[in-house]
Amino acid sequence: MPQTTAITEAITTLKDAEIRFNVTRNESEEFFTEWFTELPEITESEKASLDVLRRRYLYHRGEGDLLEGTVMLLVVSPLLALAGFYDPPFKIQAEASVELVLNDGEEILRGRIDVLVLQNQFWVLVLESKKTTLSAWSAIPQALAYLMANHHPNKPVFAMVTNGDDVLFIKLTQNPTPQYDLSRVFALFTSNRELYAILQILKRITHAIAL
C-alpha cells in the first residue's frame, strides 16, 4: 500500500524538492530567457490600469496583512486578465489537484494549486493569508513539486509565485533532465515600473505556451 503525503508536508525546503525530483538549477542566461528578453511593449492604457492596481493594493495593504483571496482579487486576477489568460485559447482551472508517484509507486504526494492555466503549462501560487509578510521564495519548493506533476513533460512549464508584495517567476523543463531557474523578485512596493515588467513577462509567457 503506497504512502500518501501532502506536498506541503513532504516538500518544505528547496533541498527537499531538488533531491526528491532529481531537479537542478540551471543559471545559464540562455535557459530562462522569457523573463528578460523579447518582452512585448505595453500600452499607455495598460500602464494606467496597472497604476490603479498598484494604488488599490497599497491602500488595502496599508491596513495590514491581506488574505489570500484578497491578493487574488487585487493583484493576480487583474494581471492575468491584462495578459490575456482569460481569453482563447487559454482555460482557467481553479484549485486543481495534482499527484506525484515516487519510488516506484511506494509514495504518493498530493496537493492543490490555486490557479492552473492552459494544459498545465502555467501555474499561479498565492501564499496563504498569514504569510503575506514572508518572502515569495518560501513557496518555491512547493511550486517545483507542482511543476514536476505537469502532464506535458516535453514542454517547458512556468509558475508565478506571489504573496502580493513580491512576484517571482519560475521555469522548469524535464527533458533531457529536470532543470529549473528563477527570475529576480519584483516588488510592488518599489515602483509602478515593477508592475509594468511583471505584465510584460506574463505576456511573453502567453506567447511561449500558446505555440
Q: Do residues 90 and 207 make contact, with C-beta atoms less than 8 angstroms apart?
A: no
Q: DSSP for 18-34, please give it.
A: HHHHT-EE---TTTSGG
| 6-13 average pLDDT score | 78
Q: What nine digits make up the cell of 47?
A: 500602464
The residue with greater pLDDT, 86 or 111, is: 86
Nearest to 144 by CA among 170, 165, 113, 107: 170
Of 30, 90, 39, 32, whose CA–CA distance to 203 is shortest? 39
Reply yes or no on whether the pLDDT at 108 is more than 80.
no
pLDDT at 118 over 70: no
Q: What is the pLDDT of residue 130?
A: 45
Region 100-117 average pLDDT: 69
More confident residue, 105 or 86: 86
Angle 145-157-183 from CA coordinates, rounded to 5°: 85
Q: What is the pLDDT of residue 62?
A: 92
Residue 145 is predicted with a pLDDT of: 86
Helices (H), the chain: 7-10, 14-21, 44-61, 68-71, 77-83, 140-148, 192-209
Q: What is the pLDDT of residue 106?
A: 67
Which range (94-98, 131-135, 205-209) has the least confidence?
131-135
Residue 58 near residue 50, CB atoms below 8 Å: no
* pLDDT recorded at residue 30: 95
Residue 159 to residue 199: CA distance in whole angstroms: 14
Interval 44-65: pLDDT, tens? 999 999 999 999 999 999 988 8
- Look at residue 75 and tell me whether its pLDDT is greater than 90: yes
CA distances from residue 94 to 4, 43, 71, 116, 118 in whole angstroms, order as listed: 23, 29, 15, 6, 11
- Structural domain span for residue 33: 3-209
Give the pTM.
0.89
When divided into structural domains, the chain yields a total of: 1
Q: Please provide the average confidence, as pLDDT, over all residues in the chain.
A: 86
Would you say the C-alpha torsion 73, 148, 121, 169 has a positive or negative sign?
positive
Omega of the bond leading into 176 within 30 degrees of 0 (cis): yes
Q: What is the CATH number of the domain that holds 172?
A: 3.90.1570
Amino acid at 155: K
Tens of pLDDT along 124-178?
888 743 444 456 777 888 889 888 887 778 889 999 999 889 999 999 999 889 9
The pLDDT value recorded for residue 211 is 64
State mean pLDDT over 15-44: 94
